[in-house]
Structures are given as structure tokens and as C-alpha cells.
Amino acid sequence: MNHGHTNQGIISGLPFPSRSVRDKRYKYIQNLNPEGISSNIMTHNQSFQAYGGGWMTNWAKLGETNDFWAKRHKLILKRPAEELYDLANDPWELNNLANNPKLDSIKNNLKTQVQDWMLQQNDTGMIAEFSVKKRQKSTHKGH
């Protein structure tokens, strides 16, 4: 199962696209712009002022006094280039195993699957991300 994600044209700021694949046990995520900030409507507090800022605001507040929530909040906003999770032992994807050399063959196999899928889909990665807004403007004329 493959998955692609983008925030271009939805939330302002640097694009933060990801591509992922999983098998029965492991999930691999390739973040194409790890310098970007992972953002969505819940990371923008002003959008949810009436509701106390949404769960991201709550995580930030909890993180002021709790290391677990501080790490989770940071991870949501700033993600590494690669993530690998053992879904059998870590269904909440809390322990990134991408830097574990014992799992290099699993990571590399899943990474190859992501890259093959991108080729099949004619997915040009960051080039495609930067063209999203241009395509949106050209397809939404008159609206």
C-alpha cells in the first residue's frame, strides 16, 4: 500500500510532502523536504481559537512540563528525511527505527518500493510539489 501527501496549496509555508509504503509489519515514510514544516489546519492555532487551539496547541502546552508531549509536538512539526516503524511492536509509530542498521535491508526494500511507485505514477517529488499552486490557479479560473 503506497501513500502520497502534500500540504501545497492548503497551508502556507514550505511544502512538506511525504511518500510512504507499508507491508504487513513495517511502515516506511520518505519526507521529501525535511527542511519544511509539517503543517495542516490543526497546526495553525488561529484557525481553532474558539476550540482552544486544537490538539497541536494542547500538545505544545503539555510539552512545557512533559518530555513525551514535547517530543511528539516537535516530531509533528519537524520530521526527519526517513521514518521506519515496526507496526507489530509500535502501532502508534512512536519509535522511528530508520537509523537502526539492523533494519537497513527492510528500510532499503521499502524505500525502493516508494521510489518505484513514484516512477510509475510519474511523481517528480519536489518538482511536482512546487507546481501544485500553479496548477490550482489554472484550474480554478473564474471561481
Q: Is residue 72 part of a domain?
A: no
Query: What is the pLDDT at residue 85?
Result: 98
48 located within any domain: no
Q: Flag whether 118 is in a domain.
A: yes
**What are the start-end ranges of the E strands in the chain?**
2-5, 18-22, 26-31, 82-86
Look at residue 115 and tell me if it is in a domain. Answer: yes
**51 inside domain:** no
Average pLDDT of every residue of the chain: 76
Asked if the structure places residue 133 within a domain, the reply is: yes
Count up the domains in the chain and report the number.
1
pLDDT in tens, 35-59: 776 666 555 555 444 545 555 667 7
| Residue scoring higher pLDDT (129 or 100) | 100
| Residues 90, 29: Cα–Cα separation, whole Å | 15
- In-domain check, residue 57: no
Residue 32 has a pLDDT of 86
Could you tell me which of 101, 123, 94, 88 has the C-alpha nearest to residue 18? 123
Domain that residue 90 falls in: 2-38+78-139
With cut-offs at 50, 70 and 90, classify the pLDDT of residue 68: confident
73-95: average pLDDT = 88
pLDDT at 98: 98
C-alpha cell at 102: 539492523
In a domain, 134, yes or no: yes
Phi and psi for 21 in degrees, rounded to 5?
-150, 155
CATH of the domain at 98: 3.30.1120
Greater pLDDT, 66 or 112: 112
The predicted structure's pLDDT at residue 97: 98
How does residue 73 score in pLDDT terms, banded at 50, 70 and 90? confident
